[in-house]
Amino acid sequence: MNEFENATTPPPAPTATPSKDERQWAMFAHLSALLGGLVTSAVGGWGFFLGPLVIWLMKKDTMPFVDDQAKEALNFNITVSAIFLILLILTFLSLGIGALITVPVMLIVGIAALVFIVIAAIKSNEGVAYRYPFAIRLVK
């Protein structure tokens, strides 16, 4: 496997059945991305990854299912934040003219991220290890 495949291929899901607490914390890990974006909205909304990061750091050693799902949420939200940053840079580099393209792309990416986060929260609360369709897996 090359480096790119390692960065994009999801790890296998945990095999043990998660407890109710683990399922709930995993759901919170996904939903906390929305809260992080809302809390940091005054400064551009770049805090999508803060909630999953905090939950992952708190629960990674004690709850394997939460460890897996919080890492998945963290990687996805880092990827989405990177996409937004790249689009913002392209907008500035094009002196604002690129906004005709970047703003609609930001809206599409934002709506898709919202949908995927809600799906992930529901699935993880059901005890299913959810994998986002696109995420660069920086945290392993």
Which sequence spans correspond to the domains of the chain? 22-125
117 neighbors 31 (Cβ within 8 angstroms) = yes
pLDDT of residue 1: 55
pLDDT of residue 4: 54
Going from the C-alpha of 81 to that of each of 18, 32, 48, the distances in angstroms are 29, 15, 7
pLDDT of residue 48: 83
pLDDT of residue 14: 62
pLDDT tens digit at each of 140 positions of the chain: 555 555 666 666 666 789 999 999 999 999 999 888 888 776 666 778 889 999 999 999 999 999 999 999 999 999 998 998 899 999 999 998 989 999 999 999 999 999 999 999 999 999 999 999 988 888 88
Total-model pTM: 0.84
pLDDT of residue 27: 96
